[in-house]
Structure 1
Amino acid sequence: MIYDLTPRPLNPAPQTPAMTWPNGAKSAVFIGFDVDAETAWIGNNPSNVDRMVTTSHGGYDARVGIARIVELMAELAMKATFFTPGWTALAHPEACDRIVAAGHEIGHHGFLHKMPDRDRLEETFEEIDRGFEALQRAFGIRPVGYRAPSGENFPELIAYLAKSGIRYSSSFRDDILPYRHASADGVPGPVEIPVNFAFDDWNFGMSSRSSARPLFGREAVLALWIDEFEATHAWGGVTTLVLHPQVSGRPMRWHLLRDFLRHVQAKGDVWIATGKEIADHFETLERQRRAS
């Protein structure tokens, strides 16, 4: 492949005008969980399927993590979006049913958590289709939100997502406000609810016996999250969380997450919403701007 390295904005999406949030809120918080289970360990490295201790990191989701996270959301009376690979939904139906029964949103997160690859478009699109099929089979749901496995995306995939009925994505890291993806053919792409990498719990709470990555304790992570949230709140943005039950469903990290979310609740002027609710609000503002 020949790569086009011409100087240009690599994301052509237009800037979002200043936003207002519902109910007089100053900022928004989007609680997103990636329910990867074992796919985090086998999707991009299939040979791990026979390494049971390695995959047991992901097995924690169904055995403990999902239930504990659903309990936490109920305790705090919050709704979240659970981006669920199709493989996870089929492998762990009882655990995943807890999410739907509690009234949370299910989002698309691929089938086997394979990183999207522009050099393998057919395989990438098949991952999207299989994910839809599995979530329909498991939950009777066709999701409208998508988070890219391993956090990667490219123009052809954005267009395919829009064609498939995906209304919003939450993968990019280039803004603090939602924005509308632009495509080369002029067809509007999905709404993007961008991510702040500081709120990915995997960075602080996941390692493995074969990795030299250190783990970070409660005080370091809680202070970082509170400071970053407070600054985003002051700027009127959206704080998007990228959480994993196999990380934040662990005992200490469960309490850490609870303390952070209690801090957010105590602000009073924060809109805590699902991805679909944020996308709905963004589209309402779009229609109002067009009508004015």
Structure 2
Amino acid sequence: MTYDLSPRPLNPAPAAPAMTWPNGARSAVFVGFDVDAETAWIGNNPSNVDRMVTTSHGGYDARVGIRKILELMDELAIKATFFTPGWTALAHRAICETMLAAGHEIGHHGYLHKLPERDKLDEAFEEIDRGFEALQSALGVRPVGYRAPSGENFPELLAYLARSGIRYSSSFRDDILPYRHAPHGADRGLVEIPVNFAFDDWNFGMSSRSSSRPLFGRDAVLRLWIDEFEATHAWGGVTTLVLHPQVSGRPMRWHLLRDFLRYVQTKPDVWVATGQQIAEHFERQDRDEN
């Protein structure tokens, strides 16, 4: 592959429009979970399928993590978006059905959580198709939201997602407001609900024997999340959470997440919404202004 390194904005999307959030809210909070389960450990490293202790990190999702997260969402009366790889839905159908039964949104997160690569378009597109097929088979849903497995994307994949019926993405890290991606030929660009890397719990609460990294305790993470949320709220943006049941479903981190979300709920002017709700609000505002 030849790489175009000419100086230019590498994301050609237009600037994010000013947002008026519903019901006089000053900012929005998007609670999103990536239900990777074992795919986090086997998608990009298939040999891990024979390493049961390594994959048991992901096995925590179905055994404990999802159930505890659903209990927390019920306690706080929050509807969240669960970005679910197709493999996870097929392997752990019963527990994934409980996410849907509780009224949460199911999002697309690939099939095997494989990193999409631009020089392997057929494989990248197959991951999308198999993900749709598995979610339809296991849960009877066809998602409208997508979060990139391993956090990567490229123009051809954005175009394929749009043609496949995806309406929004929540993967990019280049704004604090939703925006629309540049058009893909005749297809209108997806709505992007950008992510703040500071709210990815994997950065603070996941390690493994094969790639050791420090773990961060409650006080450090809670202070960081509150400070970042407060600043985003003051700027009128969207605080997008990238959470994983195999991390935030662990005992201490479950309490940490509960404390943070309780803090958010003390603010009377915050709209806590699913990705689909935020994308639909953006689309309505976009239509009204155009």
> Into which bin does the TM-score normalised by the smaller protein fall?
over 0.9
Match of 1:199 in 2: 199
SS in 2 for 1:267: coil
Contact 2:163 2:187 in 1 (8 A): no
1:73 maps to which residue?
73
Task: Kindly provide the amino acid, as one letter, of the partner of residue 87 in structure 1.
Answer: W
What is the rounded CA distance, in whole Å, between the counterparts of 2:211 and 2:140 in structure 1?
A: 38
SS of the counterpart of 1:276?
helix
Aligned position for 2:259: 259
Match of 1:228 in 2: 228
After the TM superposition, which of the residue ranges 59-68 and 207-216 deviates more from structure 2? 207-216
Distance 1:14 1:248 in 2: 34
Which residue identity lines up with residue 193 of structure 1 in the other structure?
I
Whether the aligned pair in 2 keeps the contact of 1:65 and 1:248 (CA below 8 Å) is yes
CA contact (8 A) 1:155 1:183 kept: no
State the shift of 1:211 in Å: 2.0
For the 8 Å contact 1:16–1:177, the answer to whether it is kept is: yes
Contiguous gaps of at least 5 residues in structure 2? none
CA drift of 1:185 comes to: 2.4
* Contact kept? 2:17, 2:179, Cα under 8 Å: no
Give the structure 1 partner of residue 148 of structure 2.
148
User: What is the 5 A alignment of 1:34-73?
Assistant: 34-73=34-73
Give matches, 1:1-292, under 5 Å: 1-183=1-183, 185=185, 187-290=187-290
Aligned partner of residue 110 in structure 1, secondary structure: coil
Equivalent residue letter for 1:15: A
TM-score (normalizing by structure 2): 0.99
Query: 1:154 deviation in Å?
Result: 0.1
The DSSP-based 3-state class of the residue aligned with 1:31 is: strand
Question: What is the rounded CA distance, in whole Å, between the counterparts of 1:177 and 1:57 in structure 2?
Answer: 33
Contact 1:35 1:245 in 2 (8 A): yes
Any idea what SS the aligned residue of 1:242 has? strand
Offset at residue 189 of structure 1 (A):
1.2
Is the 2:181–2:191 contact (alpha carbons within 8 Å) kept by the matching residues of 1? yes
Amino acid at match of 2:248: S
- Quote how far apart the aligned CAs of 1:220 are: 0.2
Provide the rounded CA distance (Å) in 2 between the counterparts of 1:216 and 1:271: 28
Where 2:286 maps in the other structure, the secondary structure is helix
Q: How many residues align?
A: 290
Unaligned segments of structure 1, at least 5 residues: none
Question: Is the partner of 1:239 in helix, strand or coil?
Answer: strand
Cα distance, 1:184 vs structure 2: 5.1
Shift of 1:186: 5.6
Give how far 1:16 is off.
1.8
Deviates more, 1:187-196 or 1:171-180: 187-196
Q: Residue by residue, what CA displacement relative to the aligned partner does 1:184-206 show, whole Å, maximum 9, x if unpaired?
A: 52632110000000000000000
Secondary structure of the residue that 2:257 maps to in structure 1?
Answer: helix
Residues 30 and 274, structure 2, Cα contact 8 Å, conserved in 1: yes
* Residue aligned with 1:53, SS: helix
Shift of 1:268: 1.2
Distance 1:168 1:17 in 2: 16
Paired residues of 1:37 and 1:58 also in contact (CA < 8 A): yes
Q: CA deviation at 1:137?
A: 0.4
CA contact (8 A) 2:65 2:249 kept: yes
Q: Cα offset for 1:183? A: 3.3
Post-superposition offset of 1:18? 1.2
The alignment partner of 2:266 has SS state of helix
Distance 2:211 2:130 in 1: 31
Distance 1:270 1:64 in 2: 30
8 A contact 1:116–1:152 mirrored in 2: yes
